[in-house]
Amino acid sequence: MSRYAESTDPASVAMMRRVLVGECARRGIKPESTEGEDRSLVIVHAFRGGMTEEGELTVLVRNLVD
């Protein structure tokens, strides 16, 4: 089983979604856009790598360069 197939609890998924939606709104992009999808991949990868705090993930995606 790939590590991306592991299940994530609903509260964590909701938190990652909040981070994504907030950052997309701040940048004026849609979460479903290519840019939004790129950011969602960064969020999920960081979460699975151990960065599980909402504030940490928010700072991470805010610091991404376009």
Region 3-12 average pLDDT: 73
Q: Is the dihedral of CA 58, 59, 64, 66 positive or negative?
A: positive
Start-end of H helices in 1-66: 10-27, 34-48, 54-62
Domain ranges, ordered by start, for the chain: 9-62
- CA distance linking residue 33 with residue 56, whole number of Å: 23
pLDDT value, residue 65: 86
pLDDT tier at 2, thresholds 50, 70, 90: very low
- CA distance linking residue 9 with residue 24, whole number of Å: 23
Amino acid at 14: A
Q: Is the pLDDT confidence value at 4 over 70?
A: no
pLDDT value, residue 6: 60
Q: Is the pLDDT confidence value at 61 over 70?
A: yes
